[in-house]
Copies of this chain bind each other. A is one copy, B any other.
Amino acid sequence: MERIVQLIEEDLNKLEGAIEELLTTKIPFIKEVVYHIVKSGGKRIRPVLLIHSARMCAADGDKHIPYAAIVEFIHTATLLHDDVVDNAETRRGSRTANEIWGNEPSVLVGDFLFSKSFDLMIENNNAKILRIMAKVTTGLAEGEILELLKTSDIGTTQEEYFEVISKKTAVLLSAACEIGAVLGRVDARKRAALRKYGYNVGMAFQLTDDILDYVSDDTVLGKHAGTDLKEGKVTLPLIQALKSATEKERNQVRKTLDGRHVTVRDFEKVRGIIRKYGGIEYTLEISRKYVEDAKQSLKSFPSSPHRDALLDFADYIVTRKT
């Protein structure tokens, strides 16, 4: 990831400036809540994708900087609301905003960030980008709602899971890349290629996240392993294992998903079931396929340091440990 970031260091510094500059409000408390989450060591994945896409498409000037800030704002808003929905206590090793200030500010500051993003998009006045983003946030909300409806549902299908991660993760990464293409004024074919790259990278990203929740330990992940299970999220490693699990094993999983407290022992039992039926390998394989498809999409672009960075990024997605 370091090399990927180095190439756009100047843009990323400008992004940090833009995040502070664009977050205009007379209410200091709003900034306090936003900075708590924005400055907590997130990887700026969406801005990184947007900036490399824009640069690869030879977008000139700094027009992409505010959009990089906007996609990070939208992502931050979803994190604030997600943590309320999941009753999450920690994120990236820090206490969540809802833990510190309660649910109310998290809901309202999330709303503020969504609105501010909308406001900034209109100010920047690019009709094509507006049309891209119009569908994205609706999709995000639908993805979160679908996920909520499937909470603790042992019958969640692979198709339902893919619909959830597509909407809650892949569409925003896809939009970030497509915005870069629009700013670089490339042709429709290249624009579609970048949209596809972002989508596939987004799918691989979420699949890997869901794997890490079962294979990493706390010190590596910076968040507790087993969080998904605790929150009743039925992800692909588990869905795959459940396809072959015995009735006794299914009952164990059901009991754990329904329970209020997941003990280390419960977690280990479920992890054992996933291991037994190859749930991790299966998910990793699909994730790798998305990465290959993503890289394939970039073939229509001539070789360049930014294209290399995007290719590296796709590989990084599935090999990362955090």
- Residues of A participating in the B interface, judged by any CB pair closer than 8 Å: 25-27, 29-30, 81, 84-85, 103-105, 107-112, 114-116, 118-119, 122-123, 125, 127, 130-131, 134-135, 137-138, 140-142, 144-146, 148-149
Contact = CB atoms under 8 A, between A and B. Distances in A.
Copies of this chain, complex-wide, total 2
A107 B85 contact: yes
A134 B141 contact: no
A25 B142 contact: yes
A30 to B, nearest CB: 6
A279 B146 CA distance: 48
A312 B125 CA distance: 39
Nearest to A125: B127
A126 to B, nearest CB: 11
Contacts of A104: 84-85, 148
B109 A145 contact: yes
A137 B137 CA distance: 15
A103 B84 contact: yes
Give me the 4 closest cross-chain CB pairs, A-B, nearest first: A115-B137, A112-B141, A115-B138, A119-B134
Contacts of A108: 81, 85, 141, 144-145, 148
25 contacts: A25-B142, A27-B145, A27-B146, A29-B149, A30-B142, A84-B107, A85-B104, A85-B107, A103-B103, A104-B148, A105-B148, A107-B107, A108-B141, A109-B141, A111-B140, A111-B144, A112-B141, A112-B142, A112-B145, A114-B114, A118-B118, A119-B134, A119-B135, A119-B137, A125-B127
